[in-house]
Amino acid sequence: MRAAPYLLCVPALVLFAGVVIVPLSMTVLLSFHDWGQYKGIEPVFILKNWHEVLSDSYFHEMFARTFRVAFFVTLLAALFGAPEAYILNRMRSPWRGIFLLVILGPLLISVVARTLGWALLFGGNSGLVNKALMGMGLISAPLPFMFTEVGVVVALTHVLMPYMVLAVWASLQRLDPQVENAAVALGAGPFTVLRRIVLPQVMPGILSGAVIVFALAASAFATPAIIGGRRLKVASTLAYDEFLNTLNWPLGAAVAVLLLLALIAVIWGANRLVERRYAQVFA
Amino acid sequence: MSRNGPIALTYHVLFVSFMLAPILVVCFVAFTPEGYLSFPTDRWSLRWFYAIAQYPEFISAFWRSLWLGAISSAIAVGISVPAALAIARYRFPGREAMTALFMSPLMIPHLVLGIAFLRFFTQIGLGGTFTGLVLSHIVVVIPFALRLTLASAVGLDRSIEHAAVSLGASESVVLRRITLPLVLPGLVSGWALAFINSFDEVTMTVFIAAPGTETLPVRMFLYIQDNIDPLVTSVSACVIAITVAALLVLDRAFGLERLLIGRSAGHGR
Amino acid sequence: MAFLELEKLTRSFGAHNAVDGLTLGVEKGEFVALLGPSGCGKTTTLQMIAGFVEPTSGAIRLGGKDLLAIKPAKRGLGIVFQSYALFPHMTVAENVAFGLEMQGVAAAERRTRVAETLELVGLGAFGARFPRQMSGGQQQRVALARALVIRPQVLLLDEPLSNLDAKLREGMQIELRQIQRTVGTTTILVTHDQAEAMALSDRIVVMNQGKAEQIGPPHEAYERPATPFVANFLGKTNLVNGATVRPERISFAESGLAGTVRTRIFQGNHWLYQVDTASGLVTVIRQNTGEAMPGEGDAVHLGWEGRA
Ligand SMILES: Nc1ncnc2c1ncn2[C@@H]1O[C@H](COP(=O)(O)OP(=O)(O)OP(=O)(O)O)[C@@H](O)[C@H]1O
Ligand SMILES: [Mg+2]
């Protein structure tokens, strides 16, 4: 009887041990191996790749760009996604469901197809976005979006926005609607209700959404690869190049492992923050 | 009760336009009659949809993606069910750690998984094989399968099974007549969500797919890397149409919100 | 020898004894209520009889045979769960037929027995419905029908009425008692509602922390509680100079214990008084007969039978 739960978990455990833990360990190990143009991968234990990744300014710049993009994507998603989730939550019945589907649906549509849409919208000087912006008189000359950080940030924000809406939406569902009414009954105006009653309660949702969006933005591949192209490298596209073009696997592995470690640190830190500051809300 | 004011509604319209714009653009451009990227203005044409037929690699990639998604999701559900029962029913040392482990592919960047699998599969001789793809896709979709099977296992009132036992049902009868029918909606929705995620996966697969085993998103990605032309928009439009159709069916059947948030199916009051 | 016997039944969870040396004999056809506060071990006791929880020690015998040696599926007991535990994917008729199917009863007989039992609980017309299309009270009756149709040797009811509103609960209590009288099944009811236990059962078992504090007919336990716990649990009591006195036994008199009315509450068919006396606060319940009664602040004297 004691063993029953373990026996039930055996298939999953075998899979994870064999196909997750072993490959990940091998990758960590790989990042310590040596590589040469002609000799290929040499299974030795050296710090060369790590030293290169940590000291070379090219990698510094590339990691800085990766996290800068992730930061702005997270900021934009929170700034625009949270109000939308709130508006959605106040909608009446058929519309609520319909628009929830419209906004969350893209999550399940191929990232490649969605990014292609942005490539078409940005598309050089004649792109629709520039036409629209110039039509509104906001800009006089076309802005470059393709192969720029701004373009990557906009497209990634679109790709990851549903996660933010979903997280805030979930936290809004836990909110007691009567609490808002109680505040109104006590004489609070709509803005005060929003700032003093609603926002503090959905903050954990925004933060957990932010963690997800940040993690996914920092490790996103297809979107920066298509919008950023070969010129604008982030950590993931760089690792891809090392693996499939340069064939310097150990260096690529070091980049990937470093990215993983940085993300684990960010997620862990954010979770600590959320738990400490909002423990009372969760309890 | 409370409704949205005009400012909120304007914001909402802009937001929805932002969310839909790139998707609609792809679908529009796919109908262009021209040989280059442009919007169909006075005339619509299906020429780029017919053109897909000339590119067998898209067709074969599509079927491969379909099979890959179906098989890996089915196996993922098969592995998830016993694990979900164990996690939902028992309190045992290591329970939390195991749950975290099984959900971890959600948090490990697919880039890292792709690299890890590339290394691993080349070492053990599975590099570029369909078996390798299946194994790797099982791993990335297991959290989705597990989340929904777990929700329905947790939502299952234990006393319903006890009621069946007290009426004389044997263990296998309880499993067949009571437990499985009750968790079935969870299994099906778990499979469906897993399938969609497998069907769309590109970041990890791009590392491990070889020319003979490319999935549809990988084929599309590699094509776009070379050049963007109306052909890839018509392929994308097809993918979008299929996904939207699946989405509508899923929403009808289970409710998209529940699928994505993974709330319990709850049979109790 | 009783029909169903629990002997020194004990179940511990870690260091804590959920049920602690419970001994009880239930006669054939008898209706016994297990009564006690939340967490006193009622459900655990019932689950041990049903076979879903194994006793740490002690014995359970049914008709002289060791029940613990029999698998839960073979015990032939009818159980109504607190949550009803209806099979949500089966119709009402299929729910009720399930137990018969397990016994291998032929389809034709199954149909008549299901129809009969549904008729008995007043749901003759509802066989084709699904549980979720029915009200709480109706679901409860389906659960009862499902348990009764297999003609169980013993019927076990775990707080079957606790999910119903007060009015429906009262109606169901009367029905439950009638049905039990009609079929004559030995029944054990678990409840924490003392009024329900007293209204329905031939005998009550007042439990506290896994132990039986008193076993006996309801009026006996009420009038002659064996312990202060039982006295308190079965209704309002006053402890005056070391003696327990029920509030409705105290009347306003010419002489007796002197006091002042602190509060007076009208409760429809009776008045509820709190009176300050030299021996502390005393609760008094007086029938409302339409006569004028003392008001708040009035000086009164309290008297009761057996008071020297
Ligand atoms: N599986 C278990 N593990 C640990 N302790 C348990 C378990 N089941 C019951 N207990 C403990 O045993 C005691 C008795 O529980 P039981 O469910 O029998 O109470 P009860 O009288 O039915 O209460 P209630 O009126 O709330 O239903 C409680 O203190 C409970 O916490
Ligand atoms: Mg109980």
Angle between helices B130-155 and A4-16 (to 10 degrees): 150
Residue C159 Cα to ligand 2 middle (Å): 7
Cβ distance B58 to B52 under 8 Å?
A: yes
CA-based nearest distance C16→chain B, Å:
18
Q: Are residues C148 and C128 part of one domain?
A: yes
- Closest to A104 measured CA to CA, from B194, B248, B62, C165: B248
- Closest to C51 measured CA to CA, from C83, C74, C20: C74
Do the domain assignments include residue C308?
A: no
Q: Is the CB of C13 under 6 A from ligand 1?
A: yes
Q: Whose CA is nearest to atom 31 of ligand 1?
A: C39
Domain end (from C197, C229, C261):
C229
Q: Does the A57-109+144-282 domain belong in CATH 1.10.3720.10?
A: yes
**Torsion, Cα of B34, B40, B44, B46 (10° steps):** 50
pLDDT for residue A278 is more than 70: no
What is residue A279's predicted lDDT score, i.e. its pLDDT? 55
Give the integer Cα–Cα distance in Å for C196 and A91: 46
pLDDT for residue B262 is more than 60: no
Note whether B203 contacts A91, CB cutoff 8 Å: no
Q: Which residues contact B242 (CB under 8 A, 6 or more apart)?
A: none
Residue A9: which of B98, B224, B251 has the nearest Cβ? B98
Partners of A239 on chain B (C-beta within 8 Å) are: 111, 115
Give the integer Cα–Cα distance in Å for A34 and A32: 7
- Closest to A110 measured CA to CA, from C210, B65, C123, C157: B65
pLDDT digits (tens, 9 = 90+) for A95-137: 888 898 899 889 889 999 999 999 998 875 567 787 778 777 7
What is residue A102's predicted lDDT score, i.e. its pLDDT? 92
Percent of chain B whose predicted confidence (pLDDT) is above 90:
57
In three state form, how does the secondary structure of C166-189 look? HHHHHHHHHHHHHHHHHHCCEEEE
pLDDT for residue B71 is more than 90: yes
Q: Are residues C173 and C61 part of one domain?
A: yes
Residue B163: which of C75, C81, C163 has the nearest Cβ? C81
Cβ distance C67 to C60 under 8 Å?
A: yes
pLDDT for residue A17 is more than 80: yes
pLDDT for residue A14 is more than 90: yes
Residues B49-54 have a mean pLDDT of 88
Task: State the residue for tokens 């613990």.
Answer: C68
pLDDT for residue B155 is more than 90: no
| Helix or strand holding residue C80 (H, E) | strand C78-80
Partners of A27 on chain B (C-beta within 8 Å) are: 112, 115-116, 119
Q: Are residues C23 and C125 part of one domain?
A: yes
With an 8 Å Cβ cutoff, is B118 touching chain A?
yes
How high does pLDDT run on average in chain A?
Answer: 87
Q: Whose CA is nearest to atom 20 of ligand 1?
A: C39
Note whether B220 contacts A110, CB cutoff 8 Å: yes
Tokens representing B161 are: 């099974």
Cβ distance C264 to C294 under 8 Å?
A: yes
Residue A250's SS3 state is helix
Residues C150-175 have a mean pLDDT of 84
Q: Is the CB of C110 under 6 A from ligand 1?
A: no
Partners of A20 on chain B (C-beta within 8 Å) are: 104-105, 116, 139
Atom number in ligand 1 closest to CA C40: 21
Residue C11 Cα to ligand 1 middle (Å): 10
Give the integer Cα–Cα distance in Å for A148 and C281: 83
Residues C32-55 have a mean pLDDT of 92
- Closest to B219 measured CA to CA, from A137, A106, A65, A112: A112
Residues B155-159 have a mean pLDDT of 85
Q: Are residues C100 and C29 part of one domain?
A: yes
Task: Supply φ then ψ for residue C254, to 5 degrees.
Answer: -70, -40
Domain end (from C229, C249, C272):
C229
pLDDT band at B254 (very low <50, low <70, confident <90, very high): confident
Angle of CA points A68, A66, A43, to nearest 5°: 150
Question: For residue C15, what are the domain limits?
Answer: 4-229
What is residue C93's predicted lDDT score, i.e. its pLDDT? 95
Give the integer Cα–Cα distance in Å for C105 and C97: 9
Task: Supply φ then ψ for residue C105, to 5 degrees.
Answer: -70, 140
Q: Whose CA is nearest to atom 8 of ligand 1?
A: C44
pLDDT digits (tens, 9 = 90+) for C165-222: 777 788 888 888 888 888 889 999 999 888 889 888 999 999 999 999 999 999 998 8
Most confident of A77-86, A175-184, B103-112, B222-231: A77-86
- Closest to B203 measured CA to CA, from A73, C21, A219: A219
- Closest to C210 measured CA to CA, from C26, C22, C14: C22
Smallest CA–CA distance from B165 into chain C, residue? C73
Q: Are residues C24 and C146 part of one domain?
A: yes
pLDDT digits (tens, 9 = 90+) for A25-44: 999 999 999 888 888 888 88
Q: Are residues C100 and C16 part of one domain?
A: yes
The amino acid that residue A97 corresponds to is: G
Q: How would DSSP label each residue in B80-148? A: HHHHHHHHHH---TTHHHHHHHHHGGGTS-HHHHHHHHHHHHHHHT-TT-HHHHHHHHHHHHHHHHHHH
Residue C192 Cα to ligand 2 middle (Å): 9
Note whether B162 contacts C81, CB cutoff 8 Å: yes
Partners of A220 on chain B (C-beta within 8 Å) are: 203
Smallest CA–CA distance from B179 into chain C, residue? C87
How high does pLDDT run on average in chain B?
Answer: 88
Q: How many CA atoms lie within 13 A of C178 on its CB side?
A: 10
Atom number in ligand 1 closest to CA C37: 25
Residue C48 Cα to ligand 1 middle (Å): 12
What is residue A40's predicted lDDT score, i.e. its pLDDT? 80
Note whether B159 contacts C103, CB cutoff 8 Å: no
Q: Is the CB of C40 under 6 A from ligand 1?
A: yes
Give the integer Cα–Cα distance in Å for C70 and C61: 10
Burial zone of C199 (CB within 10 Å; 0-12 exposed, 13-18 middle, 19+ buried) = middle
What is residue A135's predicted lDDT score, i.e. its pLDDT? 77
What is residue C1's predicted lDDT score, i.e. its pLDDT? 77
Q: Is the CB of C37 under 6 A from ligand 1?
A: no
Give the integer Cα–Cα distance in Å for C76 and C60: 14
Atom number in ligand 1 closest to CA C11: 12
Residue B202: which of A111, A155, A166 has the nearest Cβ? A111
Residue C73: which of B160, B168, B267 has the nearest Cβ? B168
Looking only at the bridges linking them, the beta strands covering C238-240 and C243-245 are antiparallel
Give the integer Cα–Cα distance in Å for B246 and A156: 24
Q: Are residues C94 and C65 part of one domain?
A: yes
pLDDT digits (tens, 9 = 90+) for A237-254: 999 998 888 888 999 999
What is residue A125's predicted lDDT score, i.e. its pLDDT? 54
- Closest to C96 measured CA to CA, from C138, C134, C140, C148: C148
Residue B215's SS3 state is coil
Residue C43 Cα to ligand 2 middle (Å): 4
**Torsion, Cα of B48, B51, B57, B58 (10° steps):** 30
Residue A123: which of B16, B37, B104 has the nearest Cβ? B37
E strand residue ranges, C199-292:
203-208, 211-216, 238-240, 243-245, 250-253, 257-266, 270-277, 280-287
Higher pLDDT, A17 or A93: A17
Q: Are chains B and C in touch, 3+ Cβ pairs below 8 Å?
A: yes
Cβ distance B68 to B198 under 8 Å?
A: yes
Cβ distance C59 to C213 under 8 Å?
A: no
Domain count, chain C: 2
Q: Out of A220-234, B248-262, C188-202, C269-283, which region has the weakest mean confidence (pLDDT)?
A: B248-262
Percent of chain A whose predicted confidence (pLDDT) is above 90:
49
pLDDT digits (tens, 9 = 90+) for B172-198: 999 899 998 988 888 998 898 899 999
| Helix or strand holding residue C102 (H, E) | helix C92-102
Residue C58 Cα to ligand 1 middle (Å): 18
- Closest to A93 measured CA to CA, from B8, B3, B10: B3
Counted across chains B and C, CB pairs separated by less than 8 A come out at 64
CATH code where residue C22 lies: 3.40.50.300
Q: How much is the pTM?
A: 0.79
- Sign of the Cα pseudo-torsion (B212, B218, B219, B224, in order): negative
Note whether B3 contacts A6, CB cutoff 8 Å: no
What is residue A140's predicted lDDT score, i.e. its pLDDT? 79
pLDDT band at B261 (very low <50, low <70, confident <90, very high): low
pLDDT band at A1 (very low <50, low <70, confident <90, very high): low
Chain C touching partners, 3 or more CB pairs below 8 A: B
Q: Is the CB of C41 under 6 A from ligand 1?
A: yes
pLDDT band at A223 (very low <50, low <70, confident <90, very high): very high
Q: Are residues C256 and C220 part of one domain?
A: no
Q: For A142, which DSSP code?
A: P
| Residues C97-106: b if buried by 16+ CB within 10 A, e if exposed | bbbbbbeebe
What is residue A175's predicted lDDT score, i.e. its pLDDT? 79
Smallest CA–CA distance from B15 into chain A, residue? A84
Ligand 1 binding pocket mutation candidate from C13, C16, C206 (most atoms within 8 A of CB): C13
What is residue B268's predicted lDDT score, i.e. its pLDDT? 27
Q: Are residues C266 and C245 part of one domain?
A: yes
What is residue B139's predicted lDDT score, i.e. its pLDDT? 96
Alpha helices in chain A (DSSP H): 4-16, 22-30, 48-55, 57-89, 93-104, 111-122, 128-135, 149-173, 177-185, 190-192, 199-219, 222-223, 235-241, 249-282
- Sign of the Cα pseudo-torsion (A240, A243, A247, A252, in order): positive
pLDDT digits (tens, 9 = 90+) for A144-194: 888 889 999 999 999 999 999 999 998 888 877 777 777 777 777 778 888
Instruction: Using alpha carbons, list the distances in angstroms from residue A249 to A37, A255, A259, B119, C95.
Output: 11, 10, 15, 9, 62
pLDDT for residue A50 is more than 60: yes
Q: Are chains A and C in touch, 3+ Cβ pairs below 8 Å?
A: no
What is residue B256's predicted lDDT score, i.e. its pLDDT? 74
Instruction: Using alpha carbons, list the distances in angstroms from residue A21 to A14, A25, B117, C8.
Output: 10, 6, 11, 52
Give the integer Cα–Cα distance in Å for B175 and B190: 19
pLDDT band at A90 (very low <50, low <70, confident <90, very high): confident
pLDDT for residue B269 is more than 60: no
Domains of chain B by start residue, with CATH? 1-48 (no CATH), 57-266 (1.10.3720.10)
pLDDT band at B62 (very low <50, low <70, confident <90, very high): very high
Residue A231's SS3 state is coil
Note whether A20 contacts B135, CB cutoff 8 Å: no
pLDDT for residue B267 is more than 50: no
Domain end (from C211, C229, C247):
C229
Do the domain assignments include residue C62?
A: yes
Give the integer Cα–Cα distance in Å for C189 and C167: 19
Task: Kindly identify the ligand whose nearest atom is closest to the C-alpha of C11.
Answer: 1
Partners of B18 on chain A (C-beta within 8 Å) are: 158
pLDDT for residue B266 is more than 50: no
The amino acid that residue A189 corresponds to is: G
pLDDT for residue A282 is more than 50: no
CA-based nearest distance B60→chain A, Å:
18
Q: Whose CA is nearest to atom 17 of ligand 1?
A: C43
